[in-house]
């Protein structure tokens, strides 16, 4: 009797936990300014600060727990031809996005800045061309390429030719700061 | 119209003399086993249908840049499974003869066969030469082989359970009928694999 | 009442295809009604008829024992009648179906159009061997009256279905496959079509229009569509063009004759010549266009067009530009 | 060996009934408490749970529909977002097909087939219990997902690529796939139960040509389930694999094919309609016979029609796919096959009308429902013949015309007979009578509501309103008829409320029914109301087709089965001659535990492929304990319980 009750309780708790995690994962936010929508100004371009140094507050991308937003990021990644340089994460003209090496940082705000501001050696600036929501969707997707979002949020395979394992399967790796953009190593 | 009022005076059919251990279609467990074989057979048939449906989409089979499946280990396995039916037959005979000792022995033998078959199944997967996520061809052959593997695994569990039961104090004569149904299931299991083997491993060679 | 969105009913046929089906429908309807009335009358009679005391005997018995041979004959007769009616149905069905699926008469003279389904709009292309004669537009299909039109259908994402009920029945648009359908519009007019295969959030607002017009008018339309967009003359529209090219518009839309060349969203080269926007969801008016640009997500939640924050002055300029794209 | 063992006993050998009953009560009783409750092996307990659960899902599915009808009452309504609407229509369809219609029909079979054939129980009672819990887990999964905004939103048909990984991110479609898996497992189990029970447990004398029509219907249905359900189970397995482990079954870029899903789905999906509809035909035959006092006209023809419908049901699947561009020859074949299935349906209707003609009808509520079946189903059947025509179908496919058609078929053809069956068999299940006057009101409201809701939809469809739209433009002119349909939905809701009221009142204070309130034809009316766990103190011997009506006062009964433990009689397949005695399982908790493990297995498969090995290991434990005989322990426990009581 007690065993059964306990098993039942465990099942209920398990179900409830799964259910609660589902709330955020499955929401479809078609139109909103994400909570961290004005961080362009928050991207620090200089190390110099007046007064005592402020501690680094790690920023969480608004959409890394939302499967639909990551999926939209994947769609935009294809639509805006990010794959033209980065391929499906494996890199080409631009650096790969699914490995542990990050030139300008792997934090969401770094990737946000990279997309909005552009980077030397070929990464164009998308300032003004993309809404903040779209950029944050792209950020979430780019991070999913190197396994930085939960498996149940990361996209599955797309209806295209097989090129690389689906994003759900990529493992998170400890990011390494890579100093030289591959594009810079030109003969 | 109300219920019967049985009294000492009513006529009866006395079934007390009927047997309690019967084999084959007389036994309800046999019918249950048959039912599950039908369900599993239908499922595997659907895999076959899907295999040929997907074949239509491709100019070559297997599709370009995909190796043909290897033959050696799968052929060994299918012959092994086909031959194992002789052992299953012995199990069935022993059970029919109500010989507990021999039934136990053949259960153990068949369990060993199932274990070996699972090991060979690993080779079957390797012999496919395609991953499930490379293309639709890889997906369907992997899934078909995988589905059949789950049947072998379940049957291995069943064989061990039957052996343990017949070796325990809880054994009764009627459990021998269940043991013969295990052999019956084995026939079906191996019977399914032969056409699947032909389709998966020989198909790309036979029908080009 | 259908005002700006066009005729949209299988019961208002305006072409040979839809007309045949309409004829078939009338046949089916009348036969079905007759069968229905007969069966229900038999049922009512069987239920309510007056019974002799012998017939009303409450002792349970097999029905066949009570029934005379006439009843059995009636059932056999009714079954035979059912079979015959179904046979006639099959013949009529085939007689209607064959000419519908057969290639259009005057095969070579048919106009060819390629329609591609997207979530949630229609790309329309008039192919030509000469690239400069190709026409690409969206959500509005112009056809000449009295001439067969063959539409080749496909999809880039999920399954959609092409269906202008007043002209022809539907045909699915399946990614990775090409299907086709042909129709002919006999009378000039605007015929509405709608996606008929569930395709996601905005399946409900994925419509298109077929504008049938006399051949001359159609050719004039084609000629205009082949042109690139003219650089606007007035300064407001010129500034609008700058806004267009500097903001997110350019990420998805093409305006031929400008650097904007993305194929993600509908081609806007001749947007102002279209009757509707947002895949047949809104009339193409200045107010609707402004609302659509600023807040598409409240008009079609889930649509691929993002909301845009544009300064009021820029918006006015952009609208002026878009309205100049005749 | 068989025949000699059966002794047609003399007239003096029957044991005392009271003694037998006392012994059977002791050996067939259910353990007390919650653990006893979950461990039941009584087919009536399991079937009752199925019925109540399926009815709850009917109400939930109805509420989904009500919300949709509110949204559609006005053009451009903003009551629901498209996201919510898509979840609701998907859950509505999935609920009604997988969680209501099939389980409720098979549950009626699980309850009444053993009673009607004079058996003590179904063949594999523990498996039966397992099937129920698996079904419950599947249903709860779907509704939990709805309440946390994660419900599937790609339709009950879940077409790829929309439901594939590329266009439905997250876990919504995976939940659909696993809900389907749960309900298919349960349906397949029920099918095996019913088939083996009918084949091997019929009372002596119930030869093939004496099997009641309802039992025939359930038998045909079970065979259809056996051959149809694996298709959707496999399809959903493919879908889940595409989404979880990146297989390419439906990816056209890698040799997959979206059409593969459609073929697999509809090869199940069309027989599914007949799986729901055929049991309803059996119910009508039962009701009609009882209330006209006549055995249904043309028994062999009725049986053949059921079997023919079962076969033909498998040959029609492509008529759901005419718009995809099937070759002309194929189309003609499927049109002909679709038209042909009207013949057996027609023949059965003719036979019923003939039965009514020669009968002495009593217009009780079950009879009203049975008659309304003809009135409504005929509309659905005729529009069904219409949509079998390819050119016509291309106009109305995926429009509200088809919505109207399918609701006339499923409500008129299945739910009306089902309500009739509820009224008819409620006294048997509960021992109390439902109120006739309330029943008539309920019938009237339901009849009016269904017509009000669905008849206008024919017209809407012909005027171009597609299905599965969350709204429509003001210009479309579809507003008024949609408003009318919404009013009809309110009427249906009122009717269902009235039914609940009737049931609650009857359960509290309904008049007692007695064994046989209607003067029924078949053996279930011989048992007590509600029947004891062993159904019959002495298994009856069947002397004619109408088992009760042909029963002579001195009809023999079966004696000689053990009463100190559970033992059932097994008979031969064709002649139902006594063949052997089978040790029947005792109540067991393991099916419940195994169902929980199955739940863990498939629900974790939504999230990770590791769910398979982990779940399988979890499942192995209860399965082994299930296979281990526990009769002796039970015997000991029962003795202890008895001692503590006395």
Q: Is the peptide bond before D161 cis (omega within 30 degrees of 0)?
A: yes
The residues that bridge with C283 in the sheet, in sequence order, are C276
The CATH homologous superfamily to which domain C235-323 belongs is Cupredoxins -  blue copper proteins (2.60.40.420)
- Which tens digits make up the pLDDT trace of C196-228? 999 999 999 999 999 999 999 999 999 999 999
- Mean pLDDT of chain C, nearest integer: 91
Six-digit token pair at D7?
Answer: 């002794």
Report the 10 Å Cβ neighbour count for C1. Answer: 6
Q: Tell me the chain B residues in contact with residue A166 when contact means C-beta distances shorter than 8 Å.
A: 133
- Which tens digits make up the pLDDT trace of D5-18? 566 555 555 678 88
Quote the distance between the C-alpha of residue C99 and its chain's center: 21
Q: Tell me the chain B residues in contact with residue D527 when contact means C-beta distances shorter than 8 Å.
A: 3
D311 min Cα distance to partner chain C (Å): 18
- Which tens digits make up the pLDDT trace of C303-317? 999 988 889 999 999
Report the 10 Å Cβ neighbour count for B156. Answer: 18
* pLDDT > 60? residue C50: yes
Question: Is residue D79 within 8 Å of residue D486, measured between CB atoms?
Answer: no
- Which is higher by pLDDT, D435 or D34? D435
Residues D502-508, mean pLDDT to the nearest whole number: 96
- Which tens digits make up the pLDDT trace of D403-415? 999 999 999 999 9
Share of residues in chain C with pLDDT > 70 (%):
97
Share of residues in chain C with pLDDT > 90 (%):
74
Confidence category of residue C68, pLDDT binned at 50, 70, 90: confident
Parse chain C into domains and list their residue ranges: 1-49+103-225, 235-323
Query: Quick check: do C1-49+103-225 and C235-323 share a fold?
Result: yes
Confidence category of residue B200, pLDDT binned at 50, 70, 90: very high
Q: Do B50 and D238 touch (CB under 8 A)?
A: yes
Q: Which residues contact C210 (CB under 8 A, 6 or more apart)?
A: C6, C141, C142, C143, C164, C167, C185, C190, C191, C192, C193
- Which tens digits make up the pLDDT trace of C227-278? 998 888 899 999 999 999 999 999 999 999 999 989 999 999 999 999 999 9
Report the C-alpha gap between D499 and D393 in whole angstroms: 37
- Write out the DSSP string of chain A: -HHHHHHHHHHHHHHHHHHHHHHHHH----S---TT--TTTTS---S--SSSPPPP-----TTTT-HHHHHHHHHHHHHTTTHHHHTTTT-SSSPPSSSSEESS-SSHHHHHHHHHH-BTTTB---TTTS-HHHHHHHHHHHHHHTT-S-TTTS----SS---S--GGGPPP---EE--S-GGG---
Residue D41: what are its φ and ψ, rounded to 5°? -125, 5
Six-digit token pair at D244?
Answer: 């979880």
ipTM: 0.92
Select the residue from D329, D379, D395, D521 to test the C interface by mutation, using most C Cβ atoms within 10 A: D395
Q: Does A164 touch chain D (CB under 8 A)?
A: no
Nearest CA in chain B to D630: B170
Best CA proximity match to D158, nearest among D80, D242, D216: D242
Q: Which helix (H) or strand (E) holds D374?
A: helix D365-388
The residues that bridge with C62 in the sheet, in sequence order, are D295
Report the C-alpha gap between D189 and D187 in whole angstroms: 5
Lowest-pLDDT range of A102-116, B108-122, C27-41, D60-74? A102-116
Report the C-alpha gap between C113 and C103 in whole angstroms: 15
What 3-state DSSP class applies to C267?
Answer: strand
* pLDDT > 80? residue A46: no
Question: For D362-383, b where at least 16 C-beta lie within 10 A, e where not — what string?
Answer: eebbbbbbbbbbbbbbbbbbbb
Confidence category of residue C52, pLDDT binned at 50, 70, 90: confident
User: What is the CATH code for A81-154?
Assistant: 1.10.760.10
Q: Do C298 and A31 touch (CB under 8 A)?
A: yes
Q: Do D346 and C8 touch (CB under 8 A)?
A: no
- Which is higher by pLDDT, A103 or D190? D190
Question: For D198-223, b where at least 16 C-beta lie within 10 A, e where not — what string?
Answer: bbbbbbbbbeeebbbbbbbbbbbbbb
Q: Do D171 and A71 touch (CB under 8 A)?
A: no
Report the 10 Å Cβ neighbour count for D450. Answer: 23
Residue A157: what are its φ and ψ, rounded to 5°? -65, 155
Confidence category of residue D156, pLDDT binned at 50, 70, 90: very high
Report the C-alpha gap between C189 and C170 in whole angstroms: 20
Report the C-alpha gap between C133 and C128 in whole angstroms: 6
- Mean pLDDT of chain A, nearest integer: 77
Chain position carrying tokens 């053009």? D75
Six-digit token pair at D357?
Answer: 């003609």
Q: Does A23 touch chain D (CB under 8 A)?
A: yes
Q: Is the peptide bond before A162 cis (omega within 30 degrees of 0)?
A: no
- What pLDDT score was predicted for residue B9? 61
Q: Do A160 and D603 touch (CB under 8 A)?
A: no
Residues D52-60, mean pLDDT to the nearest whole number: 97
The residues that bridge with C155 in the sheet, in sequence order, are C117, C175
Report the C-alpha gap between D61 and D83 in whole angstroms: 17
Of residues C248, C297, C303, nearest to A130 (C-beta): C248
pTM: 0.93
Quote the distance between the C-alpha of residue D421 and its chain's center: 13
Q: Would you tell me the crossing angle of helices D436-462 and D479-509 to the nearest 10 degrees?
A: 160
Confidence category of residue A92, pLDDT binned at 50, 70, 90: confident
Six-digit token pair at C162?
Answer: 């092409």
DSSP β-ladder status, C276-277 and C121-126: unpaired
CB pairs under 8 A between B and D: 237
Report the C-alpha gap between D320 and D297 in whole angstroms: 34
Nearest CA in chain D to B143: D238
Lowest-pLDDT range of A91-100, D54-63, D382-391? A91-100
Q: Does B64 touch chain D (CB under 8 A)?
A: no
Of residues C57, C75, C171, nearest to D325 (C-beta): C171
Q: Do A166 and B133 touch (CB under 8 A)?
A: yes
B134 min Cα distance to partner chain A (Å): 6
Residues B57-83, mean pLDDT to the nearest whole number: 92
- What pLDDT score was predicted for residue A187? 36
Q: Do C301 and A130 touch (CB under 8 A)?
A: no
D577 min Cα distance to partner chain B (Å): 11
* pLDDT > 50? residue C279: yes
Residues B175-200, mean pLDDT to the nearest whole number: 95
* pLDDT > 50? residue D176: yes
Chain position carrying tokens 């349970």? C60
Question: For D565-600, b where at least 16 C-beta lie within 10 A, e where not — what string?
Answer: bbbbbbbbeeebebbbbbbbbbbbbbbbbbbbbbbb
* pLDDT > 50? residue D400: yes
Strand extents, DSSP E, B3-146: 12-14
CATH topology of domain C1-49+103-225: Immunoglobulin-like (2.60.40)
The residues that bridge with C182 in the sheet, in sequence order, are C150
Best CA proximity match to A60, nearest among A11, A110, A127, A8: A110
**The dihedral sign for the CA sequence B202, D254, A137, A42:** positive
Confidence category of residue A49, pLDDT binned at 50, 70, 90: low
Best CA proximity match to A29, nearest among A147, A146, A131: A131
Q: How far is CA C231 from CA C226, C262, C268, C313, D63, in A?
A: 15, 19, 14, 20, 56
Q: Do A162 and D254 touch (CB under 8 A)?
A: yes
3-state secondary structure labels for all residues of C272-294: HHCCEECCCCEECCHHHHHHHHH
Residue C37: what are its φ and ψ, rounded to 5°? -60, -45
Q: Do A157 and B133 touch (CB under 8 A)?
A: yes
Lowest-pLDDT range of B148-157, D286-295, D316-325? D316-325
Residue D359: what are its φ and ψ, rounded to 5°? -90, -175
- What pLDDT score was predicted for residue D7? 63
Of residues C24, C35, C89, nearest to D391 (C-beta): C24
The residues that bridge with D597 in the sheet, in sequence order, are none
Q: How far is CA B95 from CA B111, D570, D609, D629, in A?
A: 16, 20, 39, 19
Nearest CA in chain A to C296: A31
Residues 75-104 of B with CB under 8 A from D: none
Nearest CA in chain B to A165: B133
- What pLDDT score was predicted for residue A37? 43
Best CA proximity match to D74, nearest among D566, D476, D530, D349: D476
Q: Do D557 and B4 touch (CB under 8 A)?
A: yes
Q: Which helix (H) or strand (E) holds C211?
A: strand C207-213
Percent of chain B that is helix, strand, coil (3-state, to 5): 70, 0, 25
- What pLDDT score was predicted for residue D437? 95
- What pLDDT score was predicted for residue D1? 37
- What pLDDT score was predicted for residue A50? 66
Residues D613-629, mean pLDDT to the nearest whole number: 91
Share of residues in chain A with pLDDT > 70 (%):
70
Report the C-alpha gap between B88 and C232 in whole angstroms: 87
Lowest-pLDDT range of C5-19, C75-89, D57-71, D379-393? C5-19
Question: Is residue C196 within 8 Å of residue C170, measured between CB atoms?
Answer: yes
Best CA proximity match to D385, nearest among C40, C96, C75, C32: C32
* pLDDT > 90? residue D578: yes
- Mean pLDDT of chain B, nearest integer: 91
* pLDDT > 50? residue B1: no
Q: Tell me the chain A residues in contact with residue B135 when contact means C-beta distances shorter than 8 Å.
A: 162
Q: Do D560 and B17 touch (CB under 8 A)?
A: yes
Q: How far is CA C72 from CA C43, D351, D489, in A?
A: 16, 9, 41
Report the 10 Å Cβ neighbour count for C50. Answer: 6
Nearest CA in chain B to D21: B6
Q: Do D150 and A159 touch (CB under 8 A)?
A: no
Q: How far is CA A123 from CA A85, A115, A184, in A?
A: 9, 8, 12
- Mean pLDDT of chain D, nearest integer: 92
Q: Tell me the chain B residues in contact with residue D557 when contact means C-beta distances shorter than 8 Å.
A: 4, 6, 10-13
Nearest CA in chain A to C263: A79
């Amino acid at each position: 009797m007690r065993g059964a009750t306990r098993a039942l309780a465990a099942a209920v708790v398990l179900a409830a936990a799964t259910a609660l995690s589902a709330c955020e994962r499955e929401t479809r936010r078609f139109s909103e300014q994400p909570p961290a929508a004005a961080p362009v100004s928050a991207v620090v371009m200089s190390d110099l600060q007046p007064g005592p140094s402020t501690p680094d507050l790690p920023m969480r991308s608004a959409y890394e727990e939302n499967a639909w937003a990551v999926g939209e990021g994947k769609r935009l990644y294809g639509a805006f031809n990010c794959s033209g340089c980065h391929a499906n994460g494996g890199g080409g003209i631009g650096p790969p996005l699914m490995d542990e090496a990050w030139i300008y940082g792997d934090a969401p705000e770094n990737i946000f800045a990279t997309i909005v501001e552009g980077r030397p050696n070929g990464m164009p600036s998308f300032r003004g061309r993309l809404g903040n929501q779209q950029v944050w969707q792209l950020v979430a997707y780019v991070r999913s390429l190197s396994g930085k979002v939960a498996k149940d949020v990361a996209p599955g395979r797309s209806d295209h030719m097989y090129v690389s394992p689906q994003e759900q399967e990529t493992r998170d790796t400890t990011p390494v700061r890579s100093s030289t953009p591959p594009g810079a190593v030109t003969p | 119209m109300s219920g019967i009022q049985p009294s000492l005076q009513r006529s009866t059919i006395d079934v007390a003399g009927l047997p309690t251990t019967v084999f084959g279609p007389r036994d309800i467990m046999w019918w249950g086993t048959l039912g599950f074989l039908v369900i599993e057979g239908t499922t595997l048939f659907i895999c076959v249908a899907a295999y040929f449906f997907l074949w239509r989409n491709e100019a070559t089979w297997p599709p370009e840049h995909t190796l043909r499946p290897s033959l050696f280990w799968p052929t060994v396995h299918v012959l092994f499974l086909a031959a194992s039916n002789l052992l299953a037959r012995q199990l069935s005979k022993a059970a029919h003869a109500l010989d507990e000792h021999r039934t136990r022995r053949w259960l153990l033998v068949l369990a060993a066969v199932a274990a070996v078959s699972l090991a060979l199944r690993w080779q079957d997967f390797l012999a496919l030469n395609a991953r499930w996520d490379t293309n639709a061809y890889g997906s369907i052959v992997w899934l078909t082989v995988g589905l059949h593997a789950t049947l072998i695994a379940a049957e291995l569990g069943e064989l061990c359970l039957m052996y343990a039961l017949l070796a325990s104090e809880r054994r009764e004569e009627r459990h021998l009928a269940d043991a013969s149904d295990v052999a019956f299931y084995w026939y079906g299991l191996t019977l399914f694999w032969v056409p699947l083997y032909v389709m998966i491993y020989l198909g790309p060679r036979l029908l080009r | 009442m259908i005002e700006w969105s066009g005729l949209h009913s299988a019961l208002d046929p305006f072409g040979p295809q839809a007309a045949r089906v309409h004829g078939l429908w009338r046949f089916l309807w009348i036969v079905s009604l007759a069968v229905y009335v007969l069966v229900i009358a038999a049922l009512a009679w069987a239920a309510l008829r007056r019974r002799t005391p012998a017939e009303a005997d409450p002792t349970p018995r097999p029905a066949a024992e009570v029934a005379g041979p006439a009843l059995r004959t009636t059932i056999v007769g009714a079954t035979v009648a059912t079979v015959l009616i179904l046979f006639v149905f099959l013949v009529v069905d085939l007689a209607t179906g064959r000419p519908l699926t057969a290639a259009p008469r005057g095969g070579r003279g048919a106009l060819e159009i390629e329609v591609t389904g997207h979530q949630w709009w229609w790309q329309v292309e008039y192919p030509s061997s000469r690239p400069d004669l190709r026409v690409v537009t969206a959500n509005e299909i112009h056809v000449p009256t009295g001439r067969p039109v063959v539409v080749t259908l496909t999809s880039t994402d999920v399954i959609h279905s092409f269906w202008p009920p007043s002209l022809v029945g539907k045909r699915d648009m399946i990614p990775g496959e090409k299907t086709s359908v042909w129709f002919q519009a006999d009378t000039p007019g605007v015929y509405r079509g709608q996606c008929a295969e569930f395709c996601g959030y905005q399946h409900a607002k994925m419509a298109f229009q077929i504008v049938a017009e006399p051949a001359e008018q159609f050719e004039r339309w084609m000629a205009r569509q082949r042109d690139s967009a003219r650089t606007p003359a007035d300064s407001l529209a010129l500034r609008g063009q700058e806004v267009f090219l500097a903001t997110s518009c350019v990420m998805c839309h093409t305006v031929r004759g400008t650097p904007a060349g993305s194929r993600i969203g509908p081609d806007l080269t001749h947007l102002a010549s279209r009757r509707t926007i947002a895949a047949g969801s809104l009339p193409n008016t200045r107010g609707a266009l402004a609302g659509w640009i600023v807040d598409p997500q409240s008009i079609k939640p889930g649509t691929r067009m993002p909301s845009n924050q544009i300064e009021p002055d820029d918006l006015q300029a952009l609208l002026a530009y878009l309205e100049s794209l005749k | 060996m068989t025949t000699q063992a059966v002794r047609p006993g003399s007239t003096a050998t029957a044991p005392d009934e009271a003694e037998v009953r006392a012994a059977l009560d002791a050996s067939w009783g259910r353990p007390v408490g919650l653990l006893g409750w979950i461990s039941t092996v009584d087919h009536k307990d399991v079937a009752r749970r199925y019925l109540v659960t399926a009815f709850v899902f009917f109400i939930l599915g109805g509420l989904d529909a009500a919300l949709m009808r509110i949204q559609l009452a006005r053009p451009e309504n903003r009551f629901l977002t498209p996201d919510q609407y898509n979840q609701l229509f998907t859950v509505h369809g999935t609920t009604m097909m997988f969680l209501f219609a099939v389980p409720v029909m098979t549950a009626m079979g699980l309850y009444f087939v053993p009673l009607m054939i004079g058996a003590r129980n179904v063949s594999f009672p523990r498996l039966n219990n397992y099937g129920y819990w698996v079904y419950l887990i599947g249903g709860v999964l779907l509704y939990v997902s709805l309440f946390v905004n994660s419900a599937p939103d790609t339709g009950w048909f879940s077409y790829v690529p929309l439901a594939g990984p590329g266009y439905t991110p997250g876990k919504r479609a995976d939940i659909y796939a696993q809900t389907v898996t749960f309900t298919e497992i349960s349906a397949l189990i029920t099918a095996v139960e019913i088939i083996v029970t009918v084949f091997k447990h019929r009372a002596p004398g119930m030869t093939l040509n004496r099997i009641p029509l309802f039992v025939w219907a359930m038998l045909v249905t079970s065979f259809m389930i056996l051959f149809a359900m694996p298709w959707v189970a496999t399809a959903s397995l493919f879908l889940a694999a595409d989404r979880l482990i990146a297989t390419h079954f439906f990816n056209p870029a890698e040799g997959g094919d979206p059409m593969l899903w459609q073929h697999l789905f509809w090869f199940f999906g069309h027989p599914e309609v007949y799986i729901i509809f055929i049991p309803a035909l059996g119910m009508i035959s039962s009701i009609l016979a009882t209330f006209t006092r006549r055995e249904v006209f043309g028994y062999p023809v009725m049986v053949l029609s059921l079997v023919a419908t079962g076969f033909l049901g498998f040959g029609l699947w492509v008529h759901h796919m005419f718009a995809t561009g099937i070759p002309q020859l194929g189309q003609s074949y499927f049109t002909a096959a679709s038209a042909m299935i009207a013949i057996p349906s027609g023949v059965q209707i003719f036979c019923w009308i003939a039965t009514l003609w020669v009968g002495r009808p009593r217009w009780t509520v079950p009879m009203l429902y049975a008659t309304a079946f003809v009135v409504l189903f005929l509309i659905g059947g005729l529009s069904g013949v219409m949509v079998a025509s390819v050119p016509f179908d291309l106009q109305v496919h995926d429009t509200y015309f088809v919505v109207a058609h399918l609701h006339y078929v499923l409500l008129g053809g299945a739910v009306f007979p089902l309500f009739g069956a509820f009224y008819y068999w409620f006294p048997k299940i509960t021992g109390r009578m439902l109120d006739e006057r309330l029943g008539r009101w309920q019938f009237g409201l339901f009849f009016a509501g269904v017509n009000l809701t669905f008849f206008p939809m024919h017209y809407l469809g012909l005027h171009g309103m597609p299905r599965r739209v969350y709204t429509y433009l003001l210009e479309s002119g579809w507003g008024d008829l949609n408003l009318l349909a919404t009013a009809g939905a309110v009427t249906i809701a009122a009717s269902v409320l009235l039914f609940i009221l009737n049931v609650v009142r009857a359960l509290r204070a309904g008049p007692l029914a007695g064994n046989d309130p209607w003067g029924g034809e078949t053996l279930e009316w011989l048992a007590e109301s509600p029947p004891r766990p062993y159904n019959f103190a002495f298994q009856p011997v069947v002397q004619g087709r109408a088992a009760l009506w042909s029963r002579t006062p001195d009809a023999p009964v079966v004696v000689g089965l053990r009463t100190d433990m559970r033992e059932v009689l097994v008979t031969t397949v064709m002649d139902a001659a006594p063949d052997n005695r089978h040790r029947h399982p005792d109540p067991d908790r393991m099916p419940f535990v195994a169902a929980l493990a199955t739940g863990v297995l498939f629900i974790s498969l939504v999230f990770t492929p590791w769910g398979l090995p982990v779940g399988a290991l979890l499942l192995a434990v209860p399965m082994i304990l299930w296979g281990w005989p526990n009769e002796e322990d039970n015997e000991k426990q029962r003795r202890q319980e008895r001692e503590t009581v006395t």
